[in-house]
Amino acid sequence: MSLGLISWQRARQLVIDELVGDLAARAPRAPIVTVTLAAAQGRVLAEAVWVDRDLPPFHRATRDGFAVRAADARQAGVVLAIGGEARAGVAWASAMCAGTTIEIATGAPLPDGADAVVMIEHVVRLGDGTVRLERSAMPGENVVPRGSEACAGDVALACGSRLGPAQLALLASVGCAAPRVFARPRVAVLATGDELVPVEAVPGAAQIRNSNAVQLAAQVACAGGEPVLLPAAPDEPRALKLALEQAAACADQIVIAGGVSMGRYDLVGEVLAELGATFCFAGVALRPGKPAAFGRVLGRPFFALPGNPLSCLVTFEFFARPAIELASGATPTPLLLARATLAEPLAAPLLPLAQVLPAALVDGNDDGAGDSGVRVRAIPTHGSGDLAALARAQLWLLLPPGCGPLAAGDEVAVLPR
């Protein structure tokens, strides 16, 4: 199974290229289902949705105040007669006359003839049915014109759009109550190890609860997949083989946690090979995550990830997430590297591997010397199995190969969690 170490960038691109080719060979690309808006969070549109009417559908006031004709409000001190009140949800029945104003609420349609709104803070009521404008008004002031956000017939959201809260609100505004979306790919989550017991069990002295399966299932769901949790597989070839066969039979992709290193009981690679697996890579120049592998077995893409929680989490995000996003109909989310400054020295070992470390933002980013950039510090850990440190992390430091120790004030690359 040893193919030699490759960079994490190359490994990630291999995954994307392999899955893009896989999808190109499929017709249709993925099953399509119709869901309610309440069930559409995180789904991917399978067809474009069009705007059914102009947005906004009328000239809309953006402030509480008084609708005016800008021609009547060219200078401060103008006195206008109040001709009525315009409320949100109620259309004004007649055109506004010159020399008058209409009291208006935020979100209400402008009366015909009005082309500006003077904020209520800049108006004085005179008590005789008139108001005095303390400021002049320009055409379009405090008004959103009809159709300025979108016009009827425009594409509201394109096919392939990931549906988050803002996208769902837009669908609701154009009357799309039942969007057609790609079905979520089913992703089998298989943790391995004799030491694992179910989460609800009381572990023995040498046992631990199967937290990796919970972590991976959450990551699968966030990536747009439907996690299929399988019972933990023991470190025994026949049982592991049966578990992998079950995974391939019930899911579109397989994520395996543990059993991929070089130990006597790390049997995943051996069993995958017995099942006729092909490997695109088996080993990444990344710490943690060096033993990670990707390939195909029994007609399914698989990701064999290290069992330590940090290794498992990081390698999933780097390699498995883009595969699930592609299978769900979305474009893979790029790894958005930003720059930050270390607030404390970092005793990183000098290694020929890229290093990923949990980190936290530091309060008080302005140090008094004009440096108001993002400042971070590494979170001390007791190895890549330190779940408590992992839960405290707000972002990741990504150090390049050959980096070594760093001083406070040095610039580093960071990845948001």
Cα first-last separation, the chain = 31
What integer pLDDT is reported at residue 260 of this predicted model?
Answer: 85
Do the bridges between strand 79-86 and strand 100-104 make them parallel or antiparallel, or are there none, so unpaired?
parallel
CA distances from 238 to 60, 242, 258, 301, 366 (A): 69, 6, 16, 21, 59
| pLDDT tens string 110-166 | 999 999 999 999 999 998 999 999 999 999 999 999 999 999 999 999 999 999 999
* φ/ψ (deg, to 5) at 15: -60, -50
Nearest by Cα to 302 from 323, 274, 325: 323
365, burial (CB in 10 Å: exposed 0-12, middle 13-18, buried 19+): middle
Taking the C-alpha atoms of residue 219 and residue 308, their distance in angstroms, rounded to an integer, is 15
Cis peptide before 334 (omega within 30 of 0): no
pLDDT of 177: 97
Distances (CA, A) of 248 to 275, 300, 318, 332, 375: 11, 6, 22, 23, 45
- Tell me the CATH number for domain 8-31+183-327: 3.40.980.10
Separation between Cα atoms, residue 182 and residue 40, nearest integer Å: 10
pLDDT tens string 290-329: 999 999 999 999 999 999 999 999 999 999 999 999 999 9
Q: Which residue has the tokens 């707000």?
A: 394
DSSP code of 288?
A: S
* Segments making up each domain of the chain, as ranges: 8-31+183-327, 49-55+150-181, 60-144, 338-416
- Reported in sequence order, the residue ranges of 230-364 that DSSP labels E, i.e. its strands, are 253-257, 278-282, 286-287, 293-297, 300-305, 338-342, 354-361
Closest CA to 332 of 5, 23, 6, 7: 23
Q: Under DSSP, is residue 62 helix (H, G, I), strand (E, B) or coil?
A: coil
CB 308, CB 385: distance < 8 Å: yes
d(CA 243, CA 267): 13
CATH of 338-416, one of 1.10.1740.10, 2.40.340.10, 3.40.710.10, 3.30.70.20: 2.40.340.10
53-to-45, 156, 256, 379 alpha-carbon distances in Å: 20, 11, 48, 52
Residues of the chain with pLDDT under 70: 1-3, 24-29, 263-265, 364-372
pTM: 0.86
Class of domain 60-144: mainly beta
CA dist 323 and 327 (Å) reads 6
DSSP state of 379: P
pLDDT at residue 279 in the model: 94
Q: Distance between CA atoms of 211 and 207, rounded to whole angstroms? A: 12
Q: Which amino acid is at 199?
A: V
